[in-house]
């Protein structure tokens, strides 16, 4: 390949300036470049490591599907957090917010549609056996799922539904987290006590959730939207993108997920207690959790019918 001499000189000059600015010797770096290997696809994305991260607990082949699909979902959650974390830095830019919302909805839409892999994709007979080797672990313990919620809306909107109306003013983060809706999903069926699944989850992530909740106060997706000038707030494309995200995260994905729980766990005549030993039939349906990230974007009737269609 023929290199344009002028371009080469210009690039060398720029490089020299770059290294000089930080007191570095460009020649040493060029020698390093001579020794470096070409980048490969497999090294760049850490493929060999990635493909060693599936470690089934049993010999059922379908357990790999279960692990892989959870990992795929967690990677999508990471994509979501990558977008959410950027929003406060551009809080007055409605166009930026809209572009990030489009990405967020694309991720959750992909997750919702691909969930069929879980619903149809495993043999229930295998699932019912290998799940017993996974106790008391549960997808309930996905910290990224909770972080997406914490980034999206003030904790007040994630409080257990009956407590929301009586909430006067700004409640303490500790109180809000102690009474968060998900506490309901991890109460032991027989005693109402916190399950081991929840206790372990809180022990591992409780402090991080607290710190994150404090850090994002006033900067959640909802609050960034509310802080925009009225004209931007009234943009129909922005409002629609927020509504779509709300619907996907708080109705459509949970319904697909619930469908898989029903398909696999309803089979047992005694309605097998879920992995965490919880009353999941009551807890999981979105109409019972009543999570709405952006309440003011829904009419009273839409809110009243949340998750019912
Ligand atoms: C056959 C597939 C699945 C079944 C039967 C199932 C079952 C359940 C059940 C019963 C719960 C309620 C908590 C408990 O009792 O443990 C739960 C919660 C949860 N699962 Fe799954 N799950 C499945 C797949 C997945 C996948 C692929 C993910 C992806 C990460 C996931 C993420 C979650 C999350 C985030 C929660 C908490 C939901 C909430 O608090 O509203 N689950 N799951």
> From the alpha carbon of 273, which atom of ligand 1 is closest?
15
> From the alpha carbon of 278, which atom of ligand 1 is closest?
15
Closest CA relative to residue 54, chosen from 77, 78, 71: 71
Q: Which of 120, 261, 262, 287 to mutate to test the pocket of ligand 1 (most atoms within 8 A of CB)?
A: 261
Q: Is the CB of 138 under 6 A from ligand 1?
A: yes
* Strand, coil or helix: 180: strand
Q: How far apart are CA 112 and CA 200, in angstroms?
A: 28
**What pLDDT is attached to residue 11?**
94
Q: Is the CB of 257 under 6 A from ligand 1?
A: yes
**Sequence-ordered list of residues with C-beta below 8 angstroms from that of 252, at least 6 positions apart, any chain:** 108, 112
* Strand, coil or helix: 165: coil
Q: Are 69 and 118 in contact (CB under 8 A)?
A: yes
The verdict on residue 35 lying in a domain is: no
Ligand 1, atom 13: closest residue by C-alpha: 140
**What pLDDT is attached to residue 269?**
44
Q: Is the CB of 250 under 6 A from ligand 1?
A: no
**End-to-end Cα separation, the chain, in angstroms:** 62
Ligand 1, atom 41: closest residue by C-alpha: 284
Q: Is the CB of 139 under 6 A from ligand 1?
A: yes
Question: What is the pTM (predicted TM-score) of this model?
Answer: 0.93
What separation in Å is there between the alpha carbon of 142 and the centre of ligand 1? 9
Regions in the chain scoring below 70 on pLDDT: 1-3, 267-277
The verdict on residue 41 lying in a domain is: no
The verdict on residue 10 lying in a domain is: no
Q: How far is CA 160 from each of CA 155, 226, 292, rounded to the nearest angstrom?
A: 10, 23, 12
Closest CA relative to residue 84, chosen from 204, 249, 257, 237: 249
**What pLDDT is attached to residue 206?**
97
Q: Is the CB of 115 under 6 A from ligand 1?
A: no
> From the alpha carbon of 74, which atom of ligand 1 is closest?
30
What separation in Å is there between the alpha carbon of 165 and the centre of ligand 1? 28
Query: How many structural domains are present in the chain?
Result: 1
Residue-range definition of the domain harbouring residue 85: 60-304
The verdict on residue 32 lying in a domain is: no
Q: Is the CB of 70 under 6 A from ligand 1?
A: yes
Helices (H) and strands (E) in the chain, counts: 19, 0
The verdict on residue 51 lying in a domain is: no
What separation in Å is there between the alpha carbon of 304 and the centre of ligand 1? 25
Ligand 1, atom 32: closest residue by C-alpha: 139
The verdict on residue 18 lying in a domain is: no
The verdict on residue 55 lying in a domain is: no
**What pLDDT is attached to residue 112?**
98
What separation in Å is there between the alpha carbon of 189 and the centre of ligand 1? 17
Q: What CATH number is attached to the domain comprising 64?
A: 1.20.58
> Tens digits of per-residue pLDDT, 185-206?
888 777 778 999 999 999 999 9
Q: Is the CB of 276 under 6 A from ligand 1?
A: yes
Ligand 1, atom 29: closest residue by C-alpha: 70
């Amino acid at each position: 390949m023929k290199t344009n001499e002028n371009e080469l000189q210009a690039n060398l000059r720029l490089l020299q300036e770059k290294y000089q600015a930080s007191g570095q010797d460009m020649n040493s770096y060029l020698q390093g470049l001579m020794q470096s290997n070409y980048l490969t696809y497999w090294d760049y994305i850490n493929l060999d490591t990635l493909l060693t991260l599936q470690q089934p607990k049993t010999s059922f082949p379908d357990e790999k599907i279960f692990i892989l699909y959870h990992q795929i979902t967690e990677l999508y959650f990471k994509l979501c957090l990558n977008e959410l974390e950027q929003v406060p830095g551009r809080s007055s830019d409605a166009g930026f917010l809209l572009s990030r919302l489009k990405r967020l909805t694309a991720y959750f839409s992909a997750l919702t549609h691909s969930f069929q892999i879980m619903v149809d994709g495993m043999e229930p007979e295998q699932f019912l056996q290998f799940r017993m080797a996974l106790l008391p672990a549960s997808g309930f313990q996905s910290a990224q799922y909770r972080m997406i919620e914490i980034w999206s809306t003030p904790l007040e909107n994630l409080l257990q539904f009956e407590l929301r109306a009586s909430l006067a003013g700004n409640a303490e983060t500790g109180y809000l987290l102690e009474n968060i809706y998900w506490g309901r999903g991890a109460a032991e069926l027989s005693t109402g006590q916190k399950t081991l699944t929840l206790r372990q989850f809180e022990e591992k992530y409780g402090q991080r959730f607290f710190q994150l909740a404090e850090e994002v106060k006033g900067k959640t997706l909802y609050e960034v939207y509310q802080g925009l000038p009225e004209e931007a707030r009234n943009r129909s494309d922005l409002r629609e993108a927020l509504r779509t995200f709300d619907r996907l995260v708080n109705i459509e994905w949970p319904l697909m997920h619930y469908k898989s729980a029903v398909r696999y766990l309803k089979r047992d005549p005694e309605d097998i207690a879920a992995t965490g030993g919880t009353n999941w039939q009551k807890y999981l349906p979105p109409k019972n959790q009543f999570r709405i990230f952006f309440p003011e974007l829904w009419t009273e009737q839409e809110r009243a019918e949340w998750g019912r269609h």
